A and B are shown apart, each in its own frame.
Chain A
């Protein structure tokens, strides 16, 4: 499948990356190569093969419902680029 510049820009938007026209033009053939290479998998008969999402067959890693100490607020906000001392501040969320 050829990845068009438009596809690159649409997918980038979904990932919250701003990709300009020039950058999209550079990326499109590279991504086409990579996806094209990955398309080898289309040639293999995988009918009925269970997918592996994890190398472990382990299950139920559970923890008891116990409260553990939290960070104090200063530490919680220490890395925040902007805050009012109590809450993290971000530019206005436009509706939608």
Chain B
């Protein structure tokens, strides 16, 4: 049993040792064998993947991801391929267009094999809010893979695909990456087009990769980045060759540690693993400096007003009129209410109600506006911190993966899983989670944050740590990994 990185697959194709269709077949076989136990995929497009891979056979190896199989979180639209956001309300929705990232990956030569499970509309931290199935953590099938991009994280962790895309609104890439022992990168807001990403909270959402290595994350990021005329919030920053220059080391790099970090709820094992990771960077010549993020303690409260408010509006379009599920009813009002009540799960309804409440007249100033003001202070904290340091290192999640069902009855506790990841979304800055060890046999991650559009430095620090950490992440003992 062996798992393969993007880089290895591309290299084998370049050397002519394998054909794209052979890789596709191998990956599909691997999914067939492993996914029954993990439940990472909502839909595997065997036929499409094989046809696409065959069409690449014999072609010159062009594009950084030529012939590499991958998976997309099921909130990323694919023309002609069912896209559900793991919601009953979109159960049979077939988009008439593809997301810009899907088009970009296709032009880089990658081969889409399927769509992965997630919390419904990306609302959740455990992937248990999927309307269709739970996804299990490949390291411990009794535990959650994290969320909301749990399917993509688990698929990469189990070796079913070398990379997958997810989306991160409050930690939905980084937290499942930490829980599943893989690399997860949330790019700067505006770096990657959101066109075709089914919106949860528009001012926070960002698409990013799950990979086994930092170098792979750099390769995928390069392929999906760039200005998109279909997304007004995508930014025309030059796309660097992120994978180049990863090896320049961290000598002199100033790594910020947050002195006023919230430690309530932080697992001592996680704390220790992260401290060790920082020590590794220091040992490699990085300078550790203390920084303060005084308003980050309000990040969860801020987030749980802003994200539901935007979501309540973003999800208004699911009304049973033009697409998606429609409930039978005699009047329009009844049709709306029944369609939406039957089509949305509990967590989605909860957030729609919170968001509607926070925006409604009389409460806007007290809740939504104050949250936006706090967002300003949280951003300013980072601006000040990055005057003193180049990257900030902190835990990705406060604990290792918890058990399925453990936090379902306590939404607020579930929200606190995101306390270390949310600030980056509010500030729009990039962040990566890199595995930094096992705690009680479960993977945990260190999170490295950087300045807006400075993914290069974040990747360089993450890569240096990955090279020097002194251990390989064990491959989960699932039958049938490729």
A and B touch in the complex (CB under 8 A): yes
What residues make up the interface of A, taking CB atoms closer than 8 Å to B? 3, 7-8, 11-19, 27, 30-31, 33-35, 37-42, 44, 46, 49-56, 58, 61, 63, 71, 75-76, 78-82, 88, 90-94
Residues of B within 8 A of A41 (CB): 298, 301-302, 305, 367, 370-371, 374
Q: A37-B301, A91-B332 are in contact. Are A8 and B353 (CB under 8 A)?
A: yes
Looking at chain B's contact residues, the main secondary structure is: helix
Q: Report B-chain residues with C-beta under 8 Å of the C-beta of A79.
A: 92-94, 96, 322-324
**B354 at interface by CB-CB < 8 Å:** yes
Question: Provided the pairs A61-B233, A78-B96 are in contact, do residues A11 and B329 lie with their beta carbons within 8 angstroms?
Answer: no
Chain A to chain B: the 10 pairs with minimum beta-carbon distance, closest first: A55-B428, A51-B372, A79-B323, A61-B232, A81-B326, A18-B337, A52-B375, A16-B336, A49-B373, A46-B373
Which chain A residue shows the least CB distance to B319? A16
Q: Is B203 an interface residue (CB 8 A)?
A: yes
Closest A residue to B337 using CB positions: A18
Given contacts A34-B411, A81-B325, 17 further A-B pairs with CB under 8 A are A14-B356, A15-B316, A16-B316, A17-B337, A17-B344, A18-B340, A27-B353, A33-B412, A34-B415, A37-B300, A40-B301, A46-B377, A55-B379, A55-B452, A78-B94, A90-B335, A92-B330
Given the complex, which residues of A lie within 8 Å of B354, measured CB to CB?
31, 34-35
Tell whether A90 pairs with B321 under 8 Å between CB atoms, given A8-B353, A17-B349, A33-B412.
yes
Question: What per-residue 1/0 map shows which CB atoms of B173-202 lie under 8 Å from chain A?
Answer: 000000000000000011000000000000
Nearest residue (CB) in B for A24 is B353
Indicate whether B304 reaches chain A with its CB closer than 8 angstroms.
Answer: yes
* B360 close to A (CB within 8 Å): yes
Contact status of A15 and B298, CB under 8 A, knowing A44-B374, A49-B377: no
**Closest B residue, CB atoms, query A71:** B96
Which B residues are CB-close (under 8 A) to A3? Answer: 357
Known: A15-B312, A58-B190, A94-B332. A81 touches B233 (CB 8 A): no
Shortest Cβ distance from A84 into chain B, in angstroms?
14
Interface centre among A31, A51, A55 (most CB of B within 10 A): A55
A-contacting residues, B49-104, CB 8 Å: 92-94, 96
In the assembled complex, B331 has its CB within 8 A of some CB on chain A:
yes
The answer to whether A14 touches B332, judged by C-beta atoms less than 8 angstroms apart, is: no
Assuming A38-B367, A80-B321, A92-B331, is B357 touching A11 (CB within 8 A)? yes
Task: Return the chain B residue nearest A49 by Cβ.
Answer: B373
Instruction: Assess the B332–A90 pair: CB atoms within 8 A.
Output: yes
How far does the Cβ of A8 sit from chain B's closest Cβ, in whole Å?
Answer: 6
> For residue B324, which residues in chain A have a CB less than 8 angstroms away from its CB?
79, 81
B334 contacts partner chain A, Cβ-Cβ < 8 Å: yes
| A–B complex contacts, Cβ < 8 Å, 27 sampled | A7-B357, A11-B357, A15-B316, A15-B356, A16-B316, A16-B319, A17-B344, A31-B354, A35-B357, A37-B301, A40-B298, A41-B370, A41-B374, A42-B370, A44-B374, A46-B370, A46-B373, A49-B377, A55-B379, A55-B428, A76-B96, A79-B96, A79-B322, A81-B325, A88-B321, A90-B332, A91-B329
Considering the chains assembled together, what is the distance between the CA atoms of A3 and B332 in angstroms? Answer: 28
Q: Specify which chain A residues have a CB less than 8 angstroms from the CB of B233 in the assembled complex.
A: 54, 56, 58, 61
Q: Is the CB of A12 within 8 A of B353?
A: yes
B334 touches A91 (CB 8 A): yes
Interface residues of chain B, those whose CB is within 8 Å of chain A, are 92-94, 96, 189-190, 203-204, 229, 232-233, 235, 298, 300-302, 304-305, 312, 316, 319-326, 329-338, 340-341, 344, 349-350, 352-354, 356-358, 360, 366-367, 369-377, 379, 411-412, 415, 426-428, 452
CB distance from B296 to the nearest CB of A (A): 12
A39 and B300 alpha carbons, distance in the complex (Å) = 11
A46 — nearest CB in chain B belongs to which residue? Answer: B373
Give chain A residues whose Cβ lies under 8 Å from the Cβ of B304: 34, 37-38
- Cβ–Cβ contact A27 & B229, under 8 A: no
Chain A positions within 8 Å of B374 at CB level = 41, 44, 46, 49
Question: Which residue on B lies nearest to A14, using beta carbons?
Answer: B356
Tell me the minimal C-beta distance from A29 to chain B in angstroms: 11
Q: Tell me which residues across on chain A come within 8 A of B203, comparing CB atoms.
A: 53-55
Within the complex, the shortest CB–CB distance from B195 to chain A, in Å, comes to 12
Task: Specify which chain B residues have a CB less than 8 angstroms from the CB of A50 in the assembled complex.
Answer: 373, 376
How far in angstroms is the closest Cβ of chain B from A51? 3
Query: How close is A90's CB to chain B, nearest CB, in angstroms?
Result: 6
Residues from chain B with a CB closer than 8 A to the CB of A71 are 96
CB distance from A77 to the nearest CB of B (A): 8
